[in-house]
């Protein structure tokens, strides 16, 4: 009897989760599968259109453009993030003064809203009055069209995103570096190992889980970019910063193409899962885990 009663309490305690899950996750997923075969602007009646949304997606320049843009973001953001984080983590791993202070400073942009960071960098990137171009001019170099050149706009956003997130990875790399026992390096020195060998065979394995995390979270982050292009460029110039979420937002809440926006959302989500899955497989094979 007591066991039974405890059983019921267990069910009662997970019940709020199950209800919430059914309404806000399970139902929306099922509904989006349904919506993908329809045209609907919420107000007028829903119209069945068969596979039209899929056909449209395959031939949609903006859909493919947003994927290319995300790739451009990742190609710049991921290596930059790893190198910068590793560089500062190595510095912080030495015996230095004020380590806590530096840690806190690097971490500051991580906690501040993306809206603040974007508004701030919009000014830094300004063509005539922006801080970065003024520095370039003072150094006798040419100005860069950070946000106004189609080639530079997405890289500029990738640099800004690195600045915002890198503090987190500095700390995570630091934890990895500190977990390596000092005598490993001493032994390697005795054996006459080069700097590169020490890095490859001692340092790298200890920070590998963090590198893995940077890759996965950056991929998700790249496909989730929204507020940065929304504020800075609204997708321009020439659609070079049109991100996946910005495109869904435009289709859904600007044109009210609910069926097509749901189709986009579904395919982007599948793409994210696929890419993350492949990355995971690749990294696991590479490290023999």
Partner 1 sequence: MLKKLVIHVFLIFGGLLFVYPFFWMVSASLAPENELSQLTFIPSIISGQSYRQVIEKIPIIRAFLNSLFVSLSITTGVLIFGSMVGYALSRMQFRGRQLVFYVIIFTMTLPFQITLIPQYILMVKFAWVDTFLSLIVPYLMNAFAIIMFRQYFMSIPQDLIDAARMDGCNELQILYRILWPNSVPALITVGIITFMASWNEVLWPLIVIRNETLMTMPQVVTLFAVGGRAESQLGAKLASATMLAIPIVLAYVFFQRYFIQSMTTTGMKE
Residues numbered 48 to 87 that lie near partner 1 (CB under 8 A) are: none
* Pair 81, 214: CB distance under 8 Å: yes
Give whole-number Cα distances, 63 to 23, 26, 77, 275, 276, in Å.
Answer: 29, 26, 21, 17, 19
Which of 49, 67, 75, 124 binds partner 1 (CB under 8 A)? It is 124
Measured from the CB of residue 49, what is the shortest distance to partner 1 in angstroms? 16
Using CB under 8 A as the binding rule, whether residue 258 contacts partner 1 is answered as yes
For the record, the structure tokens of 223 come out as 């496909």
Number of other residues whose CB lies within 10 A of the CB of residue 38: 19
Task: Mark 61-100 as b/e (b = at least 16 C-beta within 10 Å).
Answer: ebbebbbebbebbbebbbebbbebbbebbeebbeeeeeee
Measured from the CB of residue 269, what is the shortest distance to partner 1 in angstroms? 4
Select from 8-16, 179-187, 188-196, 199-207 the region that touches partner 1 (CB under 8 A).
Answer: 8-16
Using CB under 8 A as the binding rule, whether residue 175 contacts partner 1 is answered as yes
* Pair 225, 246: CB distance under 8 Å: yes
Select from 69-77, 146-154, 192-200, 257-265 the region that touches partner 1 (CB under 8 A).
Answer: 257-265
Which of 222, 271, 275 has the alpha carbon at shortest distance from 245? 222
For the record, the structure tokens of 163 come out as 């600045």
Select from 66-74, 144-152, 177-185, 265-273 the region that touches partner 1 (CB under 8 A).
Answer: 265-273
**Nearer residue to partner 1 within complex by CB, 92 or 207:** 92
Using CB under 8 A as the binding rule, whether residue 253 contacts partner 1 is answered as yes
Number of residues that bind partner 1 (CB under 8 A): 89
**Nearer residue to partner 1 within complex by CB, 27 or 64:** 27
Residues numbered 13 to 32 that lie near partner 1 (CB under 8 A) are: 13-14, 16-18, 20-21, 23-25, 27-29, 31-32
Whole-number Å distance between alpha carbons of 104 and 85: 14
Measured from the CB of residue 96, what is the shortest distance to partner 1 in angstroms? 6
Which of 89, 153, 158, 171 binds partner 1 (CB under 8 A)? It is 171
Measured from the CB of residue 242, what is the shortest distance to partner 1 in angstroms? 15
3 state DSSP class of 83: helix
**Nearer residue to partner 1 within complex by CB, 31 or 201:** 31
- What is the four-CA torsion angle of 228, 234, 235, 239, rounded to 10 degrees? -150
Task: Mark 139-173 as b/e (b = at least 16 C-beta within 10 Å).
Answer: eeeeebbbbeeeebbbbbbbbbbbbbbbbbbbbbb
**Nearer residue to partner 1 within complex by CB, 151 or 287:** 287
Measured from the CB of residue 46, what is the shortest distance to partner 1 in angstroms? 11
Binding mask 215-244 for partner 1 (x = CB under 8 A): --x--xx-xx-xx--xx--x---------x
**Nearer residue to partner 1 within complex by CB, 129 or 179:** 129
């Amino acid at each position: 009897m007591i066991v039974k009663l405890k059983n019921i309490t267990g069910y009662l305690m997970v019940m709020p989760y199950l209800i919430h899950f059914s309404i806000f996750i399970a139902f929306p997923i099922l509904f989006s599968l349904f919506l993908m075969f329809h045209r609907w602007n919420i107000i007028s009646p829903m119209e069945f259109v068969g596979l039209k949304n899929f056909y449209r997606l395959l031939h949609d320049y903006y859909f493919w453009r947003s994927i290319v843009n995300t790739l451009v973001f990742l190609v710049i953001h991921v290596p930059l993030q790893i190198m910068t984080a590793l560089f500062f983590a190595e510095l912080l791993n030495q015996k230095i003064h004020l380590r806590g202070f530096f840690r806190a400073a690097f971490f500051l942009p991580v906690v501040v809203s993306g809206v603040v960071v974007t508004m701030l960098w919009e000014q830094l990137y300004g063509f005539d009055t922006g801080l970065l171009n003024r520095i370039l001019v003072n150094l006798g170099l040419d100005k860069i069209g950070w946000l106004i050149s189609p080639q530079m706009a997405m890289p500029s956003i990738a640099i800004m995103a690195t600045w915002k997130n890198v503090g987190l990875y500095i700390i995570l790399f630091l934890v990895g570096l500190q977990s390596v026992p000092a005598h490993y390096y001493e032994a390697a020195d005795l054996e006459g190992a080069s700097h590169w060998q020490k890095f490859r065979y001692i340092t790298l394995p200890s920070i590998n889980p963090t590198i893995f995390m940077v890759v996965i979270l950056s991929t998700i982050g790249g496909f989730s970019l929204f507020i940065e292009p929304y504020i800075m460029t609204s997708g321009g110039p020439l659609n070079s910063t049109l991100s996946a979420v910005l495109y869904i937002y435009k289709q859904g809440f600007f044109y009210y193409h609910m069926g097509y926006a749901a189709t986009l959302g579904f395919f982007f989500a599948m793409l994210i899962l696929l890419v993350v899955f492949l990355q995971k497989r690749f990294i696991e094979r590479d490290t023999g885990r």
